[in-house]
Chain A
Amino acid sequence: MYSLASYRLMTGNEAVAFAVKQVDVDFISAYPITPQTIIVERLSEYVSSGELDAEFVPVESEHSALSACIGASLAGARVFTSTSSQGLALMHEVMYIASGMRCPIVMAVSNRALSAPLNIHGDHSDIMGSRDAGWVLIFCENPQEVYDYTIQAFRLAEHPEVLLPVAVNLDGFTVSHSSEPVAILEDEVVRAYLPRRERPRLEFEEPASFGVFALPTHYFEFKVEQEKALRKAGEVLEEVSAAYPNRSGRLLKLSKFNEDGRIAIICLGGTAGTVRHVVKKYGMKDFSLISLKLFSPFPSEELLDALKEAEGVVVMDRATSPGAPLPPLASNVAASLYEAGVRLPLMSVVYGLGGREPTLKMIVEMLEKSRERIGEGGPVVSRMYLGYGGG
């Protein structure tokens, strides 16, 4: 049994901060960067007012923010940080170390474009640049998911068979700055969901050495072991979400809308809401929508299951992978299909770079285009820049 305390009107950023307050984190270290800044502002207020008993360390860079988080995590604390864009890029080196040292840090990323040219608006280039850093990557569609998934992220990260950092992604501005009523749990319910678990920590009585170096005789084993743990996180997620008190807020690997659609649209984050709306509003019943919540570990099995009846897929990437055959999400989808021996027509769509938000009109255009391409005699792979005005 659980009880919902109430609904609160919150932006995505505020939902992150509220969830972090409820999970009783001990340590926060962050650096201001748009569009994530409000998260650290709210958390500073909670710490300052005493609503949250934690140390907030306002460091001099994102590199130091994540470094301080690693130190705090190894000291045994429950740790949170958040960033965006350039800040995440500056953390890049330390992200690999956080996962390699098996620190269950939770980080919110209010996704934003990467420079140059400088741009503060939303896209997924930042996190996609760090997608091989060994973190669990979760994507949220709206402030409600942000709230629910942030809480579940801590339980997943701290699971003794996982011990890996988790990044909770929310689209810059469209999710980070949009308000909606969020159903929240009682503080005690959240605390009961997140009991403290023992793990190795720095202490004088049991001196251990952390961050040792590994020669070619051992390094490979550590990295494969770490990859296994990331795969394991996919299994553990099922029990983590099943235990989450608010049934409708459980973190599933993906959610599907309009099961009967013959063409499946696959996307990450807030765009799913827009696509769902278009399919509904214009009665485009030949499309189904798969909103992926978990990007890493990539839920190939669940995705293939969701695509069983599909005649084609449209994969929407809000990032590019210059020089690669396909952008990040399309690449993962294609690899999953290939492994299953499924040669499904795939339309790879790059959209929304630097905050060019997909309008209803653009989505309709994309869906109509996909009807033409995904049919008899069409190409197996086709590409499209949605909303791109250049030559």
Chain B
Amino acid sequence: MPISKLADLYGREGLSPGHSACQGCGATIAVRQVLLAAEPPYIVVSPTGCLEVISTPYPFTAWRVPWVHVAFENAAAVASGIEAALNVLERKGIGRRHKVIVIGGDGGTFDIGLQALSGAFERGHNILYVCYDNEAYMNTGIQRSAATPPGSITTTTPAGKRERKKDIVSILVGHGSPYVATASPHLWKDLTNKVRKAQSIEGPTFLHIIAPCPRGWYFDPHLTIKLAKLAVETRIFPIYEVENGRYRINYLISRPRPVEDYLRLQNRFAHLLRPENAALLEEFKRWVEDRWSQLLKMAEAFPA
């Protein structure tokens, strides 16, 4: 059943308040929306990261659903084990299948967890992997990751990151995943329906969600949703889905807003707007344009 109004989601909360996420945390908004949409029965697996640390200080847990954390680089492997074990336990009549949903940050997904993620997707486990992408290692204090965009200042790229962001969606499409999509919490209807869709598809599916981080991006906490919206409307974070290799751009941004609108609200990009760094700003814009035009070409070549 598609989700059409917020009342369809109300009362399905998977995360309790009282957790220790920062004010205005984009990740927890994204996670809440994922859990509001998810159909039971399911089990959540998280790698080490902000989400794990803010939600489970013993003897407390914010999770109202079964949840497990093992280590940083192995969430997809842990999920593989749970999924496969429940298959056999159901067959033997001593357990029951659950959908396994991994929710991890960009560090645990793009970087240290990539091998386990690749293995799980190659083996075709029936799992939904959700990456909340706050574009750096926020839990350890804002260090660069492969998901950090070019130009961005982190504590390990004090002069701004030189490299572009890893294209995680293409990597997973390349694994033959039946469903890979991007989403933004400001587009709650799109996000929650994608969760439903991804969950209904047999096999490894992936959802890449932008999760603005007030602390790590250096912006005022009330702007979290605004920034997610700007990321989409500037074409910095395109919203699209790839179903069996077929591309559909869900939000075709025909008249993008200037990237400066997005950059200027975040101190991690403040230096890009200074006249002496015009070349860096150009580089950032080229990155955005390259990705967008590549996406258009893919959508044209392999339309849904």
Contact = CB atoms under 8 A, between A and B. Distances in A.
Complex contact flag A–B (Cβ < 8 Å): yes
Interface of A: 26-27, 29, 53-55, 57-61, 63-65, 67-77, 79, 93-94, 97, 101, 196, 201-215, 218
A325 to B, nearest CB: 33
B82 A64 contact: no
A63 B67 contact: no
A376 B52 CA distance: 62
Contact of A75 (B61, B65, B69, B86): B86
Interface of B: 40-43, 45, 52-53, 55-59, 61, 63-71, 73-74, 76-82, 84-89, 91-92, 94-96, 98, 115-116, 118-119, 122-123
B67 A209 contact: yes
A215 B82 contact: no
A209 B88 contact: no
B266 to A, nearest CB: 29
A64 B53 contact: no
Given A57-B123, A212-B57, A202 B82 contact: yes
Contacts of A73: 81, 85
B73 A71 contact: no
Contacts of A64: 74, 76-77, 80, 115-116, 119
16 contacts: A29-B84, A63-B77, A64-B80, A68-B80, A71-B45, A71-B80, A76-B89, A77-B88, A93-B71, A97-B70, A202-B98, A203-B43, A204-B98, A211-B69, A212-B69, A213-B56
A70 B73 CA distance: 14
Given A204-B40, A210-B69, A26 B116 contact: no
Contacts of A59: 77, 80, 119, 123
Contacts of A57: 80-81, 84, 123
A80 B291 CA distance: 45
Contact of A60 (B65, B68, B122): B122
Nearest to A57: B84
Given A68-B81, A213-B53, A27 B41 contact: no
B66 A70 contact: no
A75 B56 contact: no
A69 B81 contact: yes
A266 to B, nearest CB: 36
Contacts of B92: 26, 53
Contacts of B65: 204, 207
B120 to A, nearest CB: 8
A1 to B, nearest CB: 28
A212 B88 contact: no
Contacts of A68: 77-78, 80-81, 84
A72 B89 CA distance: 10
B177 to A, nearest CB: 16
Contacts of B67: 207-210
Contacts of A27: 81, 84-85, 88
B89 A77 contact: yes
Nearest to A218: B58
Contacts of B78: 67-68, 70-71
Given A59-B119, A60-B116, A218-B58, A207 B66 contact: yes
Nearest to B67: A209
Contact of B66 (A67, A69, A208): A208
Contact of B43 (A65, A67, A202, A214): A202
Contacts of B71: 67, 93-94, 97
B89 A70 contact: no
Given A202-B43, A207-B63, A213-B69, 11 more contacts: A26-B88, A63-B74, A64-B115, A70-B78, A77-B89, A79-B85, A203-B43, A203-B96, A207-B65, A211-B70, A218-B58
| B77, B86, B94, B122 pick with most chain A CB within 10 angstroms | B77
Nearest to B63: A209
Contacts of B95: 75-77, 201, 203
Nearest to B62: A209
A358 B73 CA distance: 41
Given A61-B115, A204-B41, A71 B82 contact: yes
A58 B123 contact: yes
Contacts of B61: 209, 212
A93 B65 CA distance: 27
Nearest to B119: A60
A305 B284 CA distance: 74
Nearest to B78: A71
A40 to B, nearest CB: 15
B119 A61 contact: yes
A57 B296 CA distance: 38
A212 B58 contact: yes
Contacts of B40: 204
Contacts of B91: 53
Contacts of B87: 55
Contacts of B122: 60
Contacts of A215: 57-58
Contacts of B56: 209, 211-213
B84 A204 contact: no
Nearest to B40: A204
Contacts of A58: 123
What 8 A-B pairs have minimum CB-CB distances, sorted nearest first? A71-B81, A68-B81, A60-B119, A204-B41, A72-B85, A64-B77, A67-B74, A211-B69
Contacts of B64: 207
B199 to A, nearest CB: 14
Contacts of B80: 29, 57, 59, 64, 68, 71
Nearest to A101: B70
Contact of A94 (B70, B79, B119, B123): B70
B102 to A, nearest CB: 10
